Amino acid sequence: MRVLIVEDEARLAANIAAAVREGAGYAADIAEDGEIGHYLASDGVYDLIILDLMLPKIDGLGVLTRLRKKGDRTPVLVLTARSEKESVIQLLNAGADDYLSKPFDLGELIARIKALVRRGKGIAHPVLTVRDVEVDTLSRTVSRRGEIIDLSPTEYRILEYLVHQPKAVVSKRALLEHLYDYNWERHSNVIEAHVSNLRRKLDRGLDAPLIQTLRGSGYRLILKADDAREEAAE
């Protein structure tokens, strides 16, 4: 997952970004004003936008209104001061999904971020299950048939992203865009290596793989065990 933080207070933005990366395991980019925030958000690669209300150039309401008018449905969490309740109501009515008053607890922020990302993908429970695999998005642990599987942070993030959209074919480009920060140098062969390691760990000792590789298209989960055995037999 990848989060855009539109916040002009540099120290607060950096603290939020660090919390997002360490507390949620998500990638995070920072925009220091509304104009840059709107430009980056328009790329459509973010799973959540954290939007400050008072911003230089374009304020939070302006950014939100422009995104929603274009049909952008990315979940938006608004940050504001308690004295701005009327503005918060206006923002919620304009399409914001949640808000948090300053100052706030970073633990609460992370919990709200995870809940909004889940709801944005039509998921309610934090433990996601595909066949005999469970992904606990709170503890960031994975088990198969009840046995904990030790994954690297990147392997876990790839699996979590796939499990959030179990019926989709996910391209290598989409994984690069949703799992890494803006400044990260992207190479698709890195994704191939991580997916290979992930499959090896998930499928060890089993004849029913969880992840299918579609040459030239990307990856998707195999939702039925019978289909997985057919895939393994080919």
- Write the pLDDT tens digit of every residue in 110-148: 999 999 999 998 999 999 999 999 999 999 999 999 999
Contacts of 142 (CB under 8 A, 6+ apart): 133, 134, 135, 136, 148, 149, 151, 156, 159, 202
> Using one digit for the tens of pLDDT, what is the confidence trace for 14-62?
999 999 999 999 999 999 999 999 999 998 899 999 999 999 999 999 9
Tokens for 13? 């933005």
Q: Are 96 and 134 in the same domain?
A: no
Q: Are 213 and 138 in the same domain?
A: yes
What does the alpha-carbon distance between residue 34 and residue 140 come to, in Å, rounded to a whole number?
32
Q: Tell me if 9 is assigned to some domain.
A: yes
Q: Are 111 and 142 in the same domain?
A: no
Instruction: Quote the pTM value.
Output: 0.93
The range of the structural domain enclosing residue 204 comes to 127-221
> Using one digit for the tens of pLDDT, what is the confidence trace for 176-230?
999 999 877 767 788 999 999 999 999 998 888 999 999 989 999 999 887 777 7
Q: Counting every residue, how long is the chain?
A: 234
